[in-house]
């Protein structure tokens, strides 16, 4: 999956409306979309207390369209905010402890935290410590981020981060994204080593290579920073019961605020955790019987990506999510319905990709939205009919 709204910070449901390359919006610097501002909130430790979550849902209903959009960096967005309400929303977020008063620090707080942390464990402790050291980090492009992922096996491997703290077979390592091995550290040395690596990266970034993996493709790390092999990533997390609670899904990362309030209240949850997987972890909770959420791990909607499309994004000439919902059950692989060739909702190739253009869709198999389409100018009804009647291969 990608990270702007799950794509861009890869937008999980929010389009990258800015034309500024590398620009990454936050609450202080919202994106402007066709339906108003898209305000991104970065909860510390990827957690919202029940009170914060309920209040955030209230704000989404009061100032936005009544939805929270999950991003691929485990952030959350309220969209459709009238520009005149932005200051009031910021004040409310600050009152909930969900806003850095310093916009520069907020911009640096690109920290992915493995959502299964327990209070007092290594992931929790190092995440808190990193929040305290944000001021020691160098200036970096807005999309550069960090992952604290110290469970038995890394679970954030597929999520966007440039510098990662995780485990090897023998202890903690600090690993540059794109490297197969990391630098052995202990809890006391992890943060100084991370800050060293961030400065190393900052000194090598150019306008052409703005992320760690791009830098490593052209120059090696110091040998002592990559002599501890990383562990294989954990299997992709699935919807259902987990240690610490229950994972539930949100189609396209789009969460109905009223439905989330119902779930929190019905289960008297202490809080929820945000993930980069279009899922929420209900702390100590159980899968709810609420149709607003996906509770079947095999639900085809969890294999489908679709950006907001028309009329929400000015770059789109087609609706995306209605077609994606209708098509998903007929496709056994992954599906990407993109409002345009930018492909905000998914960077990785999908088994079937539909790209909106001039009110119709171009189509390709095993590719990305920016690739050359195989078939052009299809009407959505014709595409759906073909998949429904299996006149196109369901697994192209
Ligand atoms: S229509 Fe294009 S620019 Fe807009 S959100 Fe979709 S992919 Fe991104």
Atom 5 (ligand 1) nearest CA: 15
**Closest by CA position to 57, among listed 293, 263, 251, 249:** 263
Q: How far, in Å, is the centroid of ligand 1 from the Cα of 355? A: 10
**Closest by CA position to 184, among listed 144, 148, 230, 217:** 230
Q: Which two tokens stand for residue 277?
A: 């997987």
**Average predicted confidence (pLDDT) for the chain:** 92
Give the position, in ligand 1's atom list, of the atom nearest the Cα of 345. 7
Q: How far, in Å, is the centroid of ligand 1 from the Cα of 34? A: 11
Q: Which residues contact 200 (CB under 8 A, 6 or more apart)?
A: 221, 222
- Mean pLDDT (whole number) for 22-27: 70
Q: How far, in Å, is the centroid of ligand 1 from the Cα of 135? A: 34
CA distance 284 to 248: 13
Q: How far, in Å, is the centroid of ligand 1 from the Cα of 312? A: 9
Over residues 339-348, the pLDDT tens digits come to 999 999 998 9
Q: How far, in Å, is the centroid of ligand 1 from the Cα of 54? A: 29
Indicate the pLDDT class of residue 263, thresholds 50, 70 and 90.
very high
CB 53 within 8 A of CB 271: yes
Query: With 50 as the cut, is the pLDDT of residue 4 above it?
Result: no
315 lines ligand 1 (CB under 6 A): yes
Atom 6 (ligand 1) nearest CA: 339
313 lines ligand 1 (CB under 6 A): yes
At residue 284, the pLDDT reads 97
Strands 254-256 and 350-357: unpaired
Indicate the pLDDT class of residue 376, thresholds 50, 70 and 90.
very high
Specify whether the backbone of 284 is left (phi greater than 0), alpha (psi in -120 to 50) or beta: left
Atom 2 (ligand 1) nearest CA: 340
308 lines ligand 1 (CB under 6 A): yes
Residue listed under structure tokens 């539909």: 354
At residue 2, the pLDDT reads 34
At residue 227, the pLDDT reads 93
Q: What is the pTM of this model?
A: 0.91
């Amino acid at each position: 999956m990608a990270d702007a709204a799950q794509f861009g910070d890869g937008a999980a449901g929010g389009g990258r409306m800015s034309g500024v390359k590398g620009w990454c919006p936050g609450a202080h610097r919202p994106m402007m979309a066709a339906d108003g501002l898209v305000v991104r909130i970065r909860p510390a430790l990827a957690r919202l207390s029940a009170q914060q979550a309920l209040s955030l849902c209230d704000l989404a209903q009061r100032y936005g369209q009544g939805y929270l959009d999950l991003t691929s960096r485990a952030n959350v967005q309220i969209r459709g905010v009238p520009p005149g309400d932005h200051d009031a929303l910021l004040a409310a977020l600050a009152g909930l402890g969900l806003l850095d008063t310093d916009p520069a620090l907020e911009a640096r707080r690109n920290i992915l935290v493995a959502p299964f942390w327990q209070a007092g464990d290594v992931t929790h402790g190092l995440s808190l410590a990193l929040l305290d050291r944000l001021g020691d980090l160098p200036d970096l492009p807005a999309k550069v981020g960090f992952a604290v992922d110290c469970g038995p096996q890394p679970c954030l491997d597929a999520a966007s981060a440039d510098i990662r703290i995780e485990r090897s077979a023998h202890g903690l390592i600090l690993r540059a994204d794109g490297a197969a091995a990391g630098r052995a550290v202990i809890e006391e040395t992890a943060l100084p080593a991370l800050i060293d690596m961030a400065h190393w990266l900052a000194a090598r970034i150019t306008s052409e290579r703005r992320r760690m993996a791009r830098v490593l493709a052209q120059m090696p790390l110091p040998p002592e920073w990559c002599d501890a092999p990383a562990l294989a990533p954990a299997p992709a997390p699935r919807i259902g019961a987990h240690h610490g609670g229950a994972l539930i899904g949100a189609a396209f990362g789009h969460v109905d605020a009223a439905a989330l309030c119902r779930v929190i209240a019905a289960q008297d949850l202490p809080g929820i955790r945000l993930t980069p997987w279009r899922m929420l972890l209900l702390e100590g909770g159980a899968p709810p019987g609420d149709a607003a959420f996906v509770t079947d791990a095999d639900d085809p909607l969890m294999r489908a990506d679709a950006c907001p499309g028309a009329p929400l994004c000015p770059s789109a000439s087609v609706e995306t999510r209605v077609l994606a919902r209708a098509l998903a059950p007929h496709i056994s692989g992954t599906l990407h319905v993109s409002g345009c060739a930018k492909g905000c909702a998914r960077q990785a190739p999908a088994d079937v990709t539909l790209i909106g253009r001039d009110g119709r869709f171009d189509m390709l198999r095993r590719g990305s939205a920016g690739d050359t389409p195989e078939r052009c100018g299809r009407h959505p009804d014709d595409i759906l009919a073909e998949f429904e009647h299996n006149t196109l291969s369901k697994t192209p």
